[in-house]
Structure 1
Amino acid sequence: MKEMMFNMQKSIKLIVLFILTFCFSANAQDSLKAKNLLDQVSLKVRSYNNIVLDFKYTVVNADQNLHQESKGNVALKGDQYVLNIMGITRIYDGSKVYNIVPEDEEISISTFDDQKTDELTPAKMFTFFNVGYKYTWDITQNIKGRKIQYIKLKPLDKNNTTKEVLIGIDLQTKHIYNLLKIDKDGTKTTFTINSFKTNQPLSKNHFTFTEGKYPNYYINRLD
């Protein structure tokens, strides 16, 4: 259980990394172009009542003989979210985090304080302009008829294990298309959004944990 939860937390952090990489650039011209594009993305995202994503998540390191691939989905509304990945559901209702593991019939519940933790969460997926990286205008690719503009980000902290991150943005929709994170040890993490839906007819209880739905589950209240 502990190993599964650790892997889930690690996956969540990697998945959500693509949210938090929009900061400062050393090149003034490239920085202005990147800033303008990211501002457009941020403005577009803020106009939606909710967002529902289906994604593909891949981690590869040839030297370590590592190749993991999984799919997942996440629904977001403000700070609230419901994330499904690796057979685990994670709900954040704006106050508490609920990690639901059907395989073990176990649920962990904890209070989340955004001001007291550096944990990356899906709720921050489209919260831009966070410090810690510099960004530059990178290549443009045509992917299945979509014009994808990449912005390259590099950590300001030299001790960061991340070498660089590439964020791909669909120039027509102003939506994020994918992320490629390259670590200093050669690990490559790719996050690709396969489906981006907005203003979906979600129920008013969609982001609410209902304990009665899990009568046989062990509930571990962490605080």
Structure 2
Amino acid sequence: MRQPFIYFLICVFSVTTQAQVGNDPEAAKILESIAAKVQNYTDVTYHFQLNIDFPEQEIVTQQGSYLQKGNHYRLEMPNMISMSDGETQWLIDREAEEVQIHTFLEDDKENLMNPTNLLSIYNNPRFEYMLTGEKSMGGRATQQIEFKPKDKQSEYAKARMTVEKATSEIISVEVFGKDGTKYIVDIKQVQPNQEPTVDQFVFQEKQFPNFHVEDLRID
């Protein structure tokens, strides 16, 4: 899985700030409702299914989980783990048996290695969003919001978030690549207030013996 998408994926699970003024006000109200709900959690874990639809290829399906507590996070999938303690970021590639270490740059708004920027994608002036419609899904009334990057050089054309109208919970997010690839993230379960330990957000070397570690931190 390409590294930029890993960090784009992080953005779909949490909404933590007020919506950007100047975007669709109806969409902003929905996002603010999501934000208000998430902000009541001390931490939250999302269990999800990711379907990757490559052009003219079979769909690839993976299961994963995303844990967030403040600016700490842990994204775990079958072949990779991405985590941060708010100061350092670790990207663990199980197949390659490799670990990359990066500096967490909280104030660098253009840095896609910073999940905080992507978690508040709708508050980022580089993206615009709007409510595109409502429809029934499995007997549930839902609303759909589309995000588009203003940067014409972005490898992603748009993202579509589907939210349950009654509960303000994210049901799914679709990400459309300019190369025709489509990523669909279906939220299967949400577990708030699980009280994770600090160790869950920090690379534990003893759990990954013989992995090559590449330190790319900025001094």
TM-score bracket for this pair, using the shorter chain length: 0.7 to 0.9
Structure ID, larger Rg: 1
Q: Work out whether 1:40 is the aligned partner of 2:28.
A: no
Q: Work out whether 1:203 is the aligned partner of 2:191.
A: no
State how far apart, in whole Å, the 1-side matches of 2:33 and 2:171 are.
Answer: 14
Q: Offset of 1:34 from its aligned partner?
A: 1.2
Change (3 A) 1:222 1:118: closer
Greater mean deviation of Cα atoms: 36-45 or 134-143: 134-143
Change (3 A) 1:102 1:65: closer
State how far apart, in whole Å, the 2-side matches of 1:156 and 1:213 are.
Answer: 41
1:4 is matched with: none
TM-score normalized with structure 1 length: 0.79
Verify the 8 A CA contact 1:134 1:156 in the aligned structure 2. Answer: yes
TM-score normalized with structure 2 length: 0.81
SS for the counterpart of 1:205 is helix
State how far apart, in whole Å, the 2-side matches of 1:149 and 1:169 are.
Answer: 5
Q: Which amino acid aligns with 1:48?
A: Y
Q: Which amino acid aligns with 1:200?
A: Q
Change (3 A) 1:37 1:221: same
The percent identity for this pair of structures is 23
Q: Offset of 1:144 from its aligned partner?
A: 2.5
Query: Across the two proteins, how many residue pairs are aligned to each other?
Result: 212
2:48 is matched with: 55
SS for the counterpart of 1:176 is strand
What is the aligned-residue RMSD (CA, Å)? 2.8
State how far apart, in whole Å, the 2-side matches of 1:126 and 1:17 are.
Answer: 4
Verify the 8 A CA contact 1:16 1:124 in the aligned structure 2. Answer: no
Q: Work out whether 1:176 is the aligned partner of 2:186.
A: no
The runs of 5 or more residues in structure 1 that have no matched partner are 1-6
Selected match of 1:167 from 147, 161, 168 = 161
Q: Which amino acid aligns with 2:38?
A: V
